[in-house]
């Protein structure tokens, strides 16, 4: 492969995790007002996504303690950072890095050389769907596929689940949160076949819609895609799915589809199983029906415990303390499995000033309920207490204003 790209643009050498990388020099693409967007550079590398990549490395490292990760595929790779990290840091025996942009492929080759992993990391320069369909044809199935696109991952799901071996995993990033959280209803209907609503728990609505949509796409091929780790951070969603084959397994997952019944007068919200969702979906009146969406737990608590346990074994992770905090929150949220309430919204509805979230959580726990801070929103709480009990706790903690 030619090495023209190295002469064409200015690059900068950086370190992420345990790897060295050449990435486009942000200085060359920074506006006079100091603003820099990674998409303005000729090849994409976003330093702000290191949290996303660190969690992925930790996830793969954890999984590799239980089974061989023979092949990990980084289907939309940009600089090659993920695939190289999978091999260097997460015990993946081999990785494929792929991008349809030939200049990105040249840079990936450079980065592979820089890290001495040419034996283990191979570059493909295809459309990601083409790559996914090619793999089984050449006798390869992936243990793990990472889908990290611009916007929605949906165009790559059908082929990715097809290319993944049974008991393998796929991970997806979605940055089109405006569609999923109800700003662009038609975009959500089009891409995710679900009706969102701009409500005070819209971040959870978006995540649950995205999961349901991927579960259904996989199910259409008799493949079960079960969410094992899902979260929201920095304006994107990230979900890891365990992939198994079999119509019955896929049917079982579909039993977790349903909707959120949202009462606009009281703000009460309830996850209800049932697919397809009720007909009264014109969303007028007291009750709104949001969905279809995933009503099951957002992930697997046993896996969170495992990931948590392994954090100290990867001391080079730059975002370890943030990962730890997220995992602690998710453990409680996955266990409670209720849609979060926003404390500021409840208080404004009942004309009370806001108590401290920690005090509210304490009050609910003292009444025997589970309660925790929501990772979706700093003003959010996740609890299995009914709304009346939340209000009763607020009343006991603060004065009327």
81 sits near ligand SAM (criterion: CB under 6 A) = yes
Residue number with CB closer to ligand SAM (79 or 194): 79
148 sits near ligand SAM (criterion: CB under 6 A) = yes
Return the number of other C-beta atoms located less than 10 Å from residue 103's C-beta: 15
Select the residue interacting with ligand SAM from 128, 216, 304, 327 (CB under 6 A).
128
121 sits near ligand SAM (criterion: CB under 6 A) = no
Instruction: Give the number of residues in contact with ligand SAM, rule: CB under 6 A.
Output: 20
Separation of CA 224 from chain center: 18
Contact 381, 333 (CB under 8 A): no
* 110 vs 44: CA distance, rounded Å: 15
Of the candidates 346, 254, 338, the residue with the CA atom closest to the CA atom of residue 298 = 338
Asked if residue 109 has a cis previous peptide bond (ω within 30° of 0), the answer is no
Residue number with CB closer to ligand SAM (21 or 205): 21
Q: Please list every residue from 21 through 50 that binds ligand SAM, using CB under 6 A.
A: 44-46, 49
Of the candidates 237, 241, 43, the residue with the CA atom closest to the CA atom of residue 151 = 237
Residue with tokens 């009050």: 363
What torsion do the CA atoms of 191, 204, 320, 98 make, to the nearest 10 degrees? -10
Residue number with CB closer to ligand SAM (147 or 197): 147
Contact 100, 127 (CB under 8 A): yes
* 385 vs 361: CA distance, rounded Å: 10
Of the candidates 107, 103, 100, the residue with the CA atom closest to the CA atom of residue 130 = 100
**Residue 290 class from Cβ within 10 Å (0-12 exposed, 13-18 middle, 19+ buried)?**
buried
Select the residue interacting with ligand SAM from 54, 89, 99, 333 (CB under 6 A).
99
What SS3 state is found at 118? coil
Return the number of other C-beta atoms located less than 10 Å from residue 12's C-beta: 13
Select the residue interacting with ligand SAM from 77, 92, 115, 213 (CB under 6 A).
77
CB of residue 100 vs ligand SAM: minimum separation in angstroms? 4
Helices (H), 115-170: 128-137, 157-163
CB of residue 178 vs ligand SAM: minimum separation in angstroms? 17
Select the residue interacting with ligand SAM from 17, 24, 78, 168 (CB under 6 A).
78
Contact segment (CB under 6 A) with ligand SAM among 144-152, 185-193, 234-242, 320-328 equals 144-152
* 290 vs 274: CA distance, rounded Å: 12
Residue with tokens 């996740």: 382
CB of residue 245 vs ligand SAM: minimum separation in angstroms? 25
164 sits near ligand SAM (criterion: CB under 6 A) = no
Residue number with CB closer to ligand SAM (57 or 332): 57
* 26 vs 37: CA distance, rounded Å: 8
CB of residue 174 vs ligand SAM: minimum separation in angstroms? 11
Residue with tokens 């025996």: 93
What SS3 state is found at 337? coil
163 sits near ligand SAM (criterion: CB under 6 A) = no
Select the residue interacting with ligand SAM from 149, 350, 352, 392 (CB under 6 A).
149
Contact segment (CB under 6 A) with ligand SAM among 148-156, 218-226, 310-318, 332-340 equals 148-156
* 135 vs 205: CA distance, rounded Å: 34
Select the residue interacting with ligand SAM from 82, 191, 217, 379 (CB under 6 A).
82
Identify each DSSP E strand in 57-132 by its residue range: 71-74, 94-98, 121-124
CB of residue 23 vs ligand SAM: minimum separation in angstroms? 9
* 57 vs 55: CA distance, rounded Å: 5
Contact segment (CB under 6 A) with ligand SAM among 142-150, 260-268, 286-294, 303-311 equals 142-150
Residue number with CB closer to ligand SAM (159 or 181): 159
What SS3 state is found at 121? strand
Q: Convert residues 51-70 into a mask of x (bound to ligand SAM by CB under 6 A) and - (unbound).
A: --x-----------------
CB of residue 49 vs ligand SAM: minimum separation in angstroms? 5
100 sits near ligand SAM (criterion: CB under 6 A) = yes
Residue number with CB closer to ligand SAM (43 or 288): 43
CB of residue 224 vs ligand SAM: minimum separation in angstroms? 25
CB of residue 50 vs ligand SAM: minimum separation in angstroms? 9
101 sits near ligand SAM (criterion: CB under 6 A) = yes
Binding positions for ligand SAM, rule: CB under 6 A = 44-46, 49, 53, 76-79, 81-82, 99-101, 104, 127-128, 148-150
């Amino acid at each position: 492969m030619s090495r023209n790209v190295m002469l064409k643009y200015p690059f900068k050498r950086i370190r992420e995790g345990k790897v060295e990388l050449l990435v486009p020099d942000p200085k060359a693409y920074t506006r006079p007002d100091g603003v820099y967007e990674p998409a303005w550079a000729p090849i994409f590398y976003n330093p702000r996504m290191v949290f996303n990549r660190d969690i992925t490395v930790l996830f793969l490292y954890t999984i590799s303690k239980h089974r061989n990760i023979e092949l990990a595929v980084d289907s939309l790779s940009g600089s090659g950072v993920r695939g190289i990290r999978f091999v260097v840091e997460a015990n993946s025996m081999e990785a494929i890095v792929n991008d349809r942009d030939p200049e990105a492929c040249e840079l990936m080759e450079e980065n592979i050389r820089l890290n001495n992993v040419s034996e283990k990391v191979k570059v493909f320069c295809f459309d990601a769907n083409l790559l996914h369909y090619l793999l089984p044809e050449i006798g390869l199935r992936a243990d793990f596929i990472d889908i990290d696109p611009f916007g929605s991952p949906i165009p790559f799901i059908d082929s990715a689940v097809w290319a993944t071996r049974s008991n393998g995993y796929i991970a997806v990033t979605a940055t089109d949160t405006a569609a999923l959280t109800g700003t662009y209803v038609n975009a959500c209907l089009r891409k995710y076949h679900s009706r969102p609503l701009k409500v005070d728990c819209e971040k959870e609505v978006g995540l649950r819609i995205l999961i349901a949509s991927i579960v259904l796409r996989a199910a259409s091929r008799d493949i079960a895609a079960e969410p094992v780790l899902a979260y929201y951070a920095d304006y994107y969603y990230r979900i890891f799915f365990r992939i198994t084959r079999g119509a019955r397994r896929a049917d079982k997952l579909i039993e977790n589809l349903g909707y959120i019944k949202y009462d606009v007068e009281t703000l009460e919200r309830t996850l209800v199983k049932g697919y397809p969702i009720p007909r009264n979906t014109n969303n007028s009146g007291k009750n709104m029906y949001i969905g279809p969406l995933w009503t099951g737990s957002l992930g697997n608590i046993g896996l969170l415990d495992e990931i948590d346990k392994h954090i100290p074994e990867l001391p080079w992770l730059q975002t370890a303390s943030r990962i730890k905090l997220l995992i602690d929150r998710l453990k409680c949220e996955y266990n409670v499995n209720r849609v979060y309430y926003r404390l500021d919204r409840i208080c404004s509805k009942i004309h009370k000033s806001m108590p401290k979230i920690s005090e509210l959580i304490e009050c609910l726990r003292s009444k025997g309920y589970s309660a925790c801070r929501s990772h979706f929103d700093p003003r959010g709480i996740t609890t299995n207490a009914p709304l009346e009990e939340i209000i009763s706790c607020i009343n006991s903690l603060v004065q009327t204003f």
